[in-house]
C-alpha cells in the first residue's frame, strides 16, 4: 500500500479539524458517553472520500460511521479510521489529538498514519519502515526515519492523559520505571516508536480505531503491542462474549522486544 494517499487524506482532515479548533467547540455525547464534535464528522467525511478514491474496493471501518450503525462486513483487508482521536484533548485545547488511518491485513495493522495537526507532527509506518515528519502550513516539510530504542536500565513509561487508572500504576510499580509521561491520543504509540519511551501499558477501554494506526507505526519501527497474556493484539474482533465488537482487551505497547520478553509471557517475543 502506497502511504502517500493516506498522508494526503490525513493532512486534509487535519485542516478541517483545525478550522473547527479555531472557533468555539461544541461537543455532544454519543450513546457510549464519549464526546463527539463537528470536527469528528468533517474529518471522517474527508477521509472516507479519499479512501474511496484511492482504494475503492477496500472496506472502511470508521468510528463515527460505526457509531451511526454503518458497519462493514468482515474482510481480510480493510481500513480502520479514527478521524479525531483524543476528542477530550481537542475540547481541552492541549493539542494532543490526532488523525488515525490504518490498513489492516489478516487481523494485523500493516500501515498507519498518525497526524497531530495542532503540533505539526506526522508519523507513518508500513512495510518499508517508520518515519516522522514536521508539517508546516499543511505540508510535510521533512521526513526522518524512526526506530525503537534498546531498553535502558531505567525505563520511561508513557500513559493516557485523560484515561489513567490505578491498575496502570500498580503494574508499572513492578518494573524499574524512572519516569512516567502523560500524553493524549495515539501519540503514545508514536513516542515509543521514536525511541522516546519504552512502554505504554493500557488498562482501560480502547477500540480498534483508537489503536490501529499507532500500532502500525510502532510495529514498523521494530516494537509491538501485546495483550497481557503475551499474544499480539488482533483486529476485526467481533461477536466477543465479554465486550462489544471492535473493543480491545488491556494491552502493553513496547519498544525493545527483549523488554517484552522480560515483562510479558514468552509469546510476546513473537509479536
pLDDT at 32 over 90: no
- Give bridge partners of residue 80 from the DSSP assignment: 61, 102
Consult the annotation and say whether 51 binds a ligand.
Answer: no
Residue 79: predicted pLDDT: 98
* Sheet with 199-202: strands ordered across: 177-183, 155-160, 199-202, 251-254, 224-227
According to the model, what pLDDT value does residue 246 have? 98
Instruction: Work out the mean pLDDT of the chain and round it to a whole number.
Output: 93
Residues in the chain: 271
Structural domains of the chain, with CATH = 4-145 (3.30.540.10), 155-270 (3.40.190.80)
On whether 85 is known to bind a ligand per the annotation, the reply is yes
CA distance 187 to 191: 6
**Is 106 labelled a binding residue?**
no
Annotated ligand binding at 86? The verdict is yes
Residues contacting residue 187 through CB under 8 Å, at least 6 positions apart: 86, 96, 98, 114, 116, 121, 214
pTM: 0.95
CA neighbours closer than 13 Å in the CB half-sphere of residue 8:
9
Mean pLDDT within 222-232: 95
Distance between CA 220 and CA 214 in Å, rounded? 10
According to the annotation, is 84 in a ligand binding site?
A: yes
Condensed to tens digits (0 to 9), the pLDDT of residues 146-193 reads: 999 999 999 999 998 766 678 888 999 999 999 999 999 999 999 999
pLDDT at 37 over 60: yes
- Condensed to tens digits (0 to 9), the pLDDT of residues 108-158 reads 999 999 999 999 999 999 999 999 999 998 899 889 999 999 999 999 999
Which residue in 230, 253, 234 sits closest to 148, CA to CA? 253
Residue 5 grid cell: 494517499
Q: Rounded to a whole number, what is the distance in angstroms from the first to the last CA of the chain?
A: 22
Residue 40 annotated as part of some ligand binding site? no
According to DSSP H, which parts of the chain are helical?
4-21, 38-54, 63-67, 87-92, 166-172, 187-193, 208-220, 257-263
Whether 125 has a binding-site annotation, put simply, is no
Within the chain, strands assigned E span 27-29, 35-37, 60-62, 77-85, 98-105, 108-116, 121-126, 129-136, 139-146, 155-160, 177-183, 199-202, 224-227, 251-254
Rg (CA), the chain: 17
Amino acid at each position: 500500500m502506497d502511504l502517500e494517499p493516506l498522508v494526503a487524506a490525513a493532512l486534509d482532515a487535519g485542516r478541517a479539524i483545525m478550522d473547527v479548533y479555531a472557533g468555539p467547540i461544541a461537543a455532544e455525547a454519543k450513546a457510549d458517553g464519549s464526546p463527539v464534535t463537528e470536527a469528528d464528522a468533517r474529518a471522517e467525511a474527508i477521509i472516507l472520500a479519499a479512501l474511496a478514491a484511492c482504494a475503492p474496493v477496500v472496506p472502511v471501518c470508521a468510528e463515527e460511521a460505526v457509531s451511526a450503525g454503518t458497519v462493514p462486513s468482515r474482510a481480510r483487508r480493510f481500513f480502520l479510521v479514527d478521524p479525531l482521536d483524543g476528542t477530550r484533548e481537542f475540547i481541552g485545547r492541549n493539542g494532543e489529538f490526532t488523525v488515525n488511518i490504518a490498513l489492516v491485513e489478516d487481523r494485523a495493522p500493516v500501515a498507519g498514519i498518525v497526524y497531530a495537526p495542532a503540533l505539526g507532527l506526522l508519523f507513518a509506518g508500513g512495510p518499508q519502515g517508520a518515519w516522522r515528519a514536521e508539517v508546516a502550513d499543511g505540508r510535510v516539510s521533512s521526513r526522518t526515519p524512526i526506530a525503537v530504542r534498546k531498553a535502558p536500565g531505567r525505563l520511561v513509561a508513557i500513559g493516557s492523559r485523560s484515561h489513567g487508572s490505578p491498575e496502570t500504576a500498580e503494574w508499572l510499580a513492578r518494573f524499574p520505571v524512572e519516569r512516567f509521561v502523560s500524553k493524549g491520543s495515539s501519540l503514545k504509540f508514536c513516542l515509543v516508536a521514536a525511541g522516546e519511551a519504552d512502554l505504554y501499558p493500557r488498562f482501560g477501554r480502547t477500540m480498534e480505531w483508537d489503536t490501529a494506526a499507532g500500532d502500525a507505526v510502532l510495529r514498523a519501527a521494530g516494537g509491538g503491542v501485546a495483550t497481557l497474556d503475551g499474544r499480539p493484539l488482533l483486529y476485526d474482533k467481533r461477536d466477543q462474549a465479554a465486550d462489544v465488537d471492535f473493543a480491545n482487551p488491556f494491552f502493553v505497547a513496547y519498544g525493545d522486544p527483549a523488554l517484552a520478553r522480560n515483562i510479558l509471557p514468552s509469546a510476546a517475543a513473537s509479536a
